[in-house]
Each structure stands twice: as C-alpha cells, then as structure tokens.
Amino acid sequence: MIANRHGSGVSMYFRMLRRAAQLRKGQAIAALAALAVAAAAATAMLNLYVDVQAKLRREFRKFGANIIVEAKAGQSFTSDQLTQVQSIVSGRGLAVPFAFAVARTDKDQPVVVAGVDFTAVQKLNPWWSVTSWPHDFNQALIGVRAEQLLSPSGSSFTLRYQGRAVTLSPAGTVTTGAGEDSRVYVSLTDFQRWTALTPSVIEVSAYGTNLDIASLLQQLQREMPTADVHPVRQITDGEANILGKTRSTLLSSSAFIVVTAALCVLATLTGWVVDRRRDFAIMKALGASDRLIALFVAGEAAALAAVGTVLGYAAGIGIAALIGRINFNAPVTPRLSVFPIVLLGSLLVTLISTLLPLRLLHRIQPAMILRGE
C-alpha cells in the first residue's frame, strides 16, 4: 500500500510538471532557450579550451625550436653527447643537430655553411619556404641572399674550408626572412666528409605544456653542464602569452554568457511564480507544505535545465567543430567528459536562480491571495 501511494505520488508530481509546462509554454520556452544557449556556449568554450590549446601548441611547433643546446665557444659535441641529448628528448620532442663552418668562395668571400639532416630539418622547420630539398650527394640548399653571391644562374659553385674544397650544386632555395637566407645548407654527411667538423648546436622542439617544456629544459641543463642550454624566448614567451590570453578569453566569455542566462532564467522563474501565486495559494490552503511547493518549483527548473543541457550540448559540439574548421582547418574533437560538467553547471545555475522565487513563495498567504488582495 505504501509503495503504491509512493508510486502514485511520483506519477502525480510529474503530471503536474508536464501540465505546468503546457499551460505556460511561452515562459517555459524562454527559460529553455536561455539554458540551451548557456549550455551551448559552455560546451563550445570548454571543448575549445581543451582542444585549442593542443592545436595552438602544434601550430607553435611549426615555428621551429624552443630550446637551444650549444657547445662552448670553439668546441663541438661528441657522438656520445649527441646520443645523450637524443635520449633525453626522445618522446618529448625533436632534437636536430647543426654543424657550422665559415667557408670561402672563389672570390674569397665568407659564407656560413651548415651541415644538417634534411629530413629532420623539414620536421623541425615546416615554416621554411623551400623551393626544393636536396636529395643527392653534394647538393645544397641555398638561402636566397646567398644565391645571389654563389649561384645567381643556378650553376654549381665551389667552397673552400681550411684548404679543402668542395663543389656543390644547388637543389633549391630557402626563404625565412632571417639568417637562414644568407647560409648554405648541405647534408651532415657531406659536411663532415669535407670539414671533419661535428655538430656544435642542437635545436630542440619540445612538445607539451609550458611545464613539460620547462621540465625538459631543466633536465638538459642538469645533464649537459658543459653546454649552454637556453630557451628561445620569442617562441616560449609568445606561446605562453597567446595561450594565456586564449584561456582567459574563453573563460570570461563563458562566464558572461552563463551569468546572462542565469539572469534570464531568474526573471522567467520569478514571473512564473508571480503568475501562479493563486495556484500555490490553493495548494497551501489544501495542506501543501512550503517544502513540497519548493520541490515542485525546483523540479520544474531542474527539468528545464536537463532538457536545455542536452540541446545546448549538441549545438555546442557543432559550434566548436565549426570554429576549429575555420581557424585550424581541423574539427575540434567532441569530448563527452564535458557533458557532466555542463549538466552540473546548468543545474546549479537554475537551482540558484530559484532562490528568489522560493522566497516569494514562502511569503504567500493563502487567505489574502484567495480574497484577491
């Protein structure tokens, strides 16, 4: 018997909720729309908050190294030291060694020549504007300014270093707007065969968060005490600055939209209670407690929040995907872990918005309301 009465009471409660929504469709739709907009904005911003940071970090990695490891002046790294750096960086970034020499042209003009692994450099610096990469022995990648000096017609040229000469054929040119435009790049194998020099600089593109990059930097400084290990400030500072501004913009935008939605819900629920004060007065006159009426109002608000969250979450996923496609040419990955957060936030905002209407309900005097006062 008790179970039957409990079941019939629950059924009656939900029928009352459904009936209240049907009789006041306009107010219900207004509150539902406000909650759906807030949920959509929160879903989009939270997805972007997580996904855009990863995308921005990938974009920053396209701008080259963010850590430089340099041998002391006049020295170079041994093969063991190169292996040690590669071992430290493995799985946490990309380490590319560079060997440098100042060679002389046939006209005794100095030019900087760098020996590199071209495959690794393409991964490290995808932002370089290269017409064609070397793929054969004694081919060179020439900076656009160095080309005017060495091979304006695209023909082979000769360079000398400490009495040893090498003839190189240009495979293509590189344009960066920086020092690379005045250099000649050859494969590390050709460079060492010609100069007998080993790399003296290792450029590291570290992956992960700022803490991950700082941790790798500290480990390299600790385990390579004879080298000068320092961050590339333009890259690290720029990345931290942009990520920080992006996070603050997303969070402040979400907060503004949520507060606006909360005010809209508050106004809707307050108007809802005022319009129905006679109904609540009758319920009180028939013996309904303030707690039961409060539960009824809170139930209406929670139901609206749940429906609004589902609609807003679906819309927010689409908005986030569109923003990702427009700005990064890749969709933002939908994250189901965001849904519980958005649902909880919607319920909290809605239930907090019921506090003022519930205070108004508590002050309702059935006798005065039913007399029309």
Cα separation, 149 vs 184, in Å, equals 11
Q: 43: pLDDT confidence band, cut at 50, 70 and 90?
A: confident
Helical H segments across the chain, by residue range: 2-23, 25-61, 79-89, 118-124, 144-150, 188-195, 210-223, 233-275, 277-285, 290-328, 338-353, 355-362, 366-370
Cα separation, 8 vs 120, in Å, equals 72
Residue 282, pLDDT score: 67
Residue 189, pLDDT score: 94
Q: pLDDT digits over 332-360, tens only?
A: 777 788 888 888 888 887 777 777 777 76
How much is the CA Rg of the chain, to the nearest whole Å? 34
Q: 9: pLDDT confidence band, cut at 50, 70 and 90?
A: very low
Cα separation, 184 vs 125, in Å, equals 16
Q: 321: pLDDT confidence band, cut at 50, 70 and 90?
A: confident
Percent residues over pLDDT 70 in the chain: 72
138 backbone φψ class: left, alpha, beta (φ>0; ψ -120 to 50): left
Residue 359, pLDDT score: 73
**Statement: residue 147 has pLDDT above 80:** yes
Q: 295: pLDDT confidence band, cut at 50, 70 and 90?
A: confident
Cα separation, 258 vs 251, in Å, equals 10
Q: 10: pLDDT confidence band, cut at 50, 70 and 90?
A: low
Q: Is the separation of the CB atoms in 299 and 19 below 8 Å? A: no
**Statement: residue 3 has pLDDT above 50:** no
**Statement: residue 210 has pLDDT above 60:** yes
Q: pLDDT digits over 235-252, tens only?
A: 555 555 666 666 677 677
Helix (H, G, I), strand (E, B) or coil at 232: coil
